[in-house]
Structure 1
Amino acid sequence: MPKGIAINGRFLTQRTTGVQRYAREIVRALDAEGPHDIDVELVCPPGAERLELRRIRQTFRGTGAGHAWEQLQLPWYAAGRPLLCLCNLAPILCRQRTVVIHDAAVFDSPGGYGRTFVAWYRFVHRALAASGAHVVTVSEFSRARLAAALHVAPRDIEVVGGAVDHVDRIQPDPAVVDTLGLRGTPYVLAIGSLHPNKNIAMLEAAMADPRLARLRLVVAGGRAPRVFRDEGDRQRAGNIHYAGYVSDEQLLGLLQHAAVFVFPSRYEGFGLPPLEAMRTGCPVLASHAASIPEVCGAAATYFDPDDTSQMASVIAAVATDETERARLAAAGRRRTDPLRWSVQAHALLDHVRRTASPATAHQPHPT
């Protein structure tokens, strides 16, 4: 059993999306309920966000904050300990690494990413698998897709999924409903960038259906132009409003007042947003693609992400049916009750312990 482990803290230099949320909550859970018999260091580049931690030591080391820091400096600061990397990438030249790769989208659906991004991620993922890194992913769907892409046996990839009890810590901000002029207006809420996998364009098209004329679509979320290809400006129906980036508090305020939450994605490694909606009591309508049925189970109503008529029919039927909305809300709460970050964090830590070399020793930290 290792006496200490290092965690890659580069994610604290990045905007929080689902991948970074996973990393933050795993670290928080390990800090709150982690073991007392192992030293855990969160190794961050300079300028990273400082977390309020009690048991885990957060340090700031080296220079820079990008791929060069991760690939060249981080292995040195890990100092011979097992290194846990939570956000898709890890150093190629490092003896003991566990890396959480959240999906195989750069192999399965590369069209929405920039060419440099795709080439780099494909290269690193293949190099990690070939060099003996321990790969973890977040769903059975992602395990199967990564096994095929990286030419490894599915049994060699561990599954440690996400959770949703972080929502319980957030105080909703209902003022956002008034700020966006939505008070008294029935609206459908969606979350997502303009990445093609998020399929917002098809949801926009569905909203043009006359059956949805009395509903408004609110899309929360921003773009990442250095990663995703821009689909350009599109003509949008008059009942569609892009809210841009919203805080966690504002998002919960929007979810609490939405008629339904719609998740039309074509490709997800896990998909936290529908679980977050369920946790707030918002009825969830979702695509039946990729990992989404695995994650949402019977607590969502599904549609074909490429059939706008079916999408519109499902939205129209559920958004106006109070009984069905109440049923979905109750099912969503039951679905999310057991999904706790402490459980996932301990599963991940147990995996690191099992796969650590017996010869691993805790070495002095470089200064």
Structure 2
Amino acid sequence: MQIIVNARFLCTRATGVQRFAFEISRHLKRIDPSIKFISPHNIQQEAWADELQAITVGHLTGHLWEQIDLAHYLRKHPDSTLLSPGNTGPLFHKKQLLVLHDVAFLTNPKAFTWRFRIFYQLLIKRLSRRVACILTVSDFSRKEILSFYPYLEEKIHVVYNGITRFPRNLSQYVGQPYFLVVGSLDPRKNIPFILRTYSMLPKNNRPLLKIVGGRGKTFKKELFPDIPSDVEFVGQANDYVLARLYKNAKALLFPSIYEGFGLPPIEAMSFGTPCLVSDISVLHEVLQDAAIFLDPHDPDVWIEAMQSILNDKELRLHLREEGLRQSQRFSWETSAKQVYQHLKGITIP
């Protein structure tokens, strides 16, 4: 059986969905070197593409590439099994495993344009009926997907995210202490809230605030007009830079209102970094008792928690130990093996 991976994720910036797609792909390649990774030509993640030995086909990009160029390629390989790890895939190919990370376009419609919402509603409704198998990344997401698409009960399964093997031979950090935020401009990430909350901390007794993600200066201006001088926008970070930021942070602040899984906290925990996170059900599922859970709309509880992290050594050590223990539950190797078993189990009469 030939397995083909829809590698359109190589053509967009790296967020949690793209990280899942790449890590699952690289570990699948180790399990089965015969797997092919098919991508559009407009690759952004060149290092990933080189590692996967991605094959570019067609002249289109985006969803059009998926529905036309990829579909044309698959017609030449009708017996192949397709993995689409990034929420969408070609409608016509039934022998397909789709990874649907969440249904935020239905639960948080204000975060998306009306065109995007309508397109996704039409596409996911049809695609979910046609594909042979669907995976999602948490029990929370599975239940939420089934609340909109109850007919998927028999073919939707959970495979958790893993933790990237970040570089560990990191240079020593000698700068000022800092809190870390990892997130995009997506309104669900709630970054303006944490900026406003941080600005309420006493200036003479607060660490820096470093924000990873977004688009540098543009990101900064769009988020908050009066940025405190001790806020640093890092922009996109490679694995080495991100690992160093995780390892040396006083705490990761993760005020997200909605997640399908929530990868940054579990990554930060793998470095022993304390995590202050939103009190939402999916983060309880993933992090259990290894984080401090806070109302993502109440700045006072975040201020109190940040001050506790700075002043309470025993609390920091407790969160470090619990976080390291919890992070060991997640492995890309294990997740890739589960995905591979689902792929091998797909049969179309």
Q: TM-score, normalised by structure 2?
A: 0.89
* 43, 64, 67: which one aligns with 2:63: 67
Structure-2 change in CA distance of 1:331 and 1:31 (3 Å)? same
The one-letter amino acid of 1:31's match is: K
Q: Distance in 1 between matches of 2:262 and 2:242?
A: 16
Bigger CA drift: 20-29 or 129-138? 129-138
Structure-2 change in CA distance of 1:103 and 1:212 (3 Å)? farther
Partner of 1:316: 307
* 198, 207, 218: which one aligns with 2:210: 218
Equivalences for residues 205-244 of structure 1 within 5 A: 205-210=196-201, 213-215=204-206, 216-223=208-215, 233-244=224-235
**Identical counterparts, % of pairs:** 31
Secondary structure of the residue aligned to 1:42 is: strand
The one-letter amino acid of 1:260's match is: A
Deviations 1:234-282 (CA, angstroms, capped at 9, x unpaired): 3334443322222221122122221111111010101111111111121
Structure-2 change in CA distance of 1:99 and 1:153 (3 Å)? closer
Q: Is the CA contact 1:170–1:248 (under 8 Å) kept in the aligned structure 2?
A: no
Q: Distance in 2 between matches of 1:13 and 1:345?
A: 21
Q: Is the CA contact 1:125–1:150 (under 8 Å) kept in the aligned structure 2?
A: no
Q: Distance in 2 between matches of 1:153 and 1:52?
A: 34
Ranges in structure 1 where 5+ consecutive residues have no aligned partner:
360-367
Q: Is the CA contact 2:182–2:212 (under 8 Å) kept in the aligned structure 1?
A: yes
Partner of 2:134: 135
Shift, 1:47, TM fit: 4.3
Q: Distance in 2 between matches of 1:207 and 1:250?
A: 23
Q: Distance in 2 between matches of 1:121 and 1:59?
A: 27
Q: Distance in 2 between matches of 1:19 and 1:170?
A: 24
Is 1:41 the counterpart of 2:53 in the alignment?
A: no
Equivalences for residues 248-259 of structure 1 within 5 A: 248-259=239-250
Structure-2 change in CA distance of 1:83 and 1:64 (3 Å)? same
Partner of 1:362: none
Secondary structure of the residue aligned to 2:336 is: helix
Q: Distance in 1 between matches of 2:170 and 2:132?
A: 40
Q: Is the CA contact 1:173–1:250 (under 8 Å) kept in the aligned structure 2?
A: no
Q: Is the CA contact 1:172–1:251 (under 8 Å) kept in the aligned structure 2?
A: no
Q: TM-score, normalised by structure 1?
A: 0.85
Deviations 1:188-235 (CA, angstroms, capped at 9, x unpaired): 1111122211011111122133457522221111149xxx9x956433
Ranges in structure 2 where 5+ consecutive residues have no aligned partner:
none
Q: Distance in 1 between matches of 2:110 and 2:121?
A: 13
Equivalent residues, number? 338
Equivalences for residues 272-351 of structure 1 within 5 A: 272-351=263-342
Q: Is the CA contact 1:102–1:137 (under 8 Å) kept in the aligned structure 2?
A: yes
Secondary structure of the residue aligned to 1:280 is: coil
Highest relative contact order (Cα 8 Å, sep 6+), 1 or 2?
1
Deviations 1:155-194 (CA, angstroms, capped at 9, x unpaired): 4311111000422x465465xx67xxxx1x3221111122
Partner of 1:117: 116
Deviations 1:96-127 (CA, angstroms, capped at 9, x unpaired): 11110111111101212233222222221111
Q: Is the CA contact 1:70–1:91 (under 8 Å) kept in the aligned structure 2?
A: yes
Secondary structure of the residue aligned to 2:127 is: helix
Q: Is the CA contact 2:309–2:316 (under 8 Å) kept in the aligned structure 1?
A: yes
Secondary structure of the residue aligned to 1:334 is: helix
Q: Distance in 2 between matches of 1:154 and 1:139?
A: 15
What is the aligned-residue RMSD (CA, Å)? 2.3
Q: Is the CA contact 1:45–1:69 (under 8 Å) kept in the aligned structure 2?
A: yes
Secondary structure of the residue aligned to 2:4 is: strand
